[in-house]
Amino acid sequence: MPTTAGELFQLVKTGEATTRKALLTRSGLSRSTLTARLDRLQTAGLLAEGDQEESTGGRPARHLRFDEQHAVVLAASIDTTHAEAAVTDLAGRRLAHRGGEVRVADGPEPVLDVIADWFGAMLAEVRLPVCGIGVSVPGPVEPGRARVTQPPIMPGWDGYPIDAHLGARFAAPVLVENDANLMALGEHRARYPDSAALVVVKVSTGIGAGIVIGGEVYRGVDGGAGDIGHVRLPGHADARCLCGSLGCLA
């Protein structure tokens, strides 16, 4: 039965249960426990009071609703020669967008400064608080940390604190993830939610793959499980890769 705050939130968001009475029935929680968890969601700005039900006698129940515009999310996608940034509401609808040429080879600070400037300009347009920042990068990311680790085509980025660079300016938590992993997770959640295992291959300046198993991104020990672009190919030992090695796939 759905009992956690996150599970209760999903019931309201999907419209499966939007009154306290319905949530009590679905969850089996005590009234005091349910009230405490709903209070947390309302304090966080995720839920708000909605319309009242028609009264059939007694005090009419009030619906709860997902407050999609309580705050916004900042999102950025960094590629080797281009980047894009957007502001979305909590339902993922894009409210503003920027994009342009950057060179990931120039190092993290100039690239992140451009993205931070884009974020600042867009926030001036939407005028809503920021609750989180997501950054997609073309390299392996150390699990549990917002830092690129040993990226083959991102010179100067290894171990750089992307979260500190952006989080300090916008006072929000920062999630950094490999671009192919995010593509795979998006495909799984939006189009193939019942798939037990899914692989998405991204072909761009380099070649990478995102792997989702059991609904979770599979990263491997060092976060590079899908870094297939640097698998050595037989018969091509003299082909030079962007990473500096010889014989890579891309």
Ramachandran angles phi, psi of 145, nearest 5°: -135, 150
132: number of Cβ within 10 Å: 16
CB distance 235 to 227 below 8 Å:
no
Q: Is residue 236 part of a domain?
A: no
Over the chain (250 residues), the average pLDDT of each successive run of 10 is 90 93 93 95 91 64 91 96 97 96 96 98 96 94 86 91 94 95 95 95 87 93 80 77 74
CATH number at residue 45: 1.10.10.10
Distance CA 84, CA 138 (A): 13
pTM, rounded to two decimals: 0.85
Structure token digits, residue 183: 């593509």
**Residue 82 forms beta bridges with which residues?**
101
Report whether 233 contacts 248 (CB < 8 A).
yes
Q: Looking at the structure, tell me whether residues 10 and 93 fall in a common domain.
A: no
3-state SS class at 240: strand
Q: Which domain holds residue 46?
A: 5-66
Same domain for 137 and 112, yes or no, is yes
- Whole-number pLDDT of residue 50: 81
**Residue 47 and residue 45: Cα distance in Å, rounded?**
6
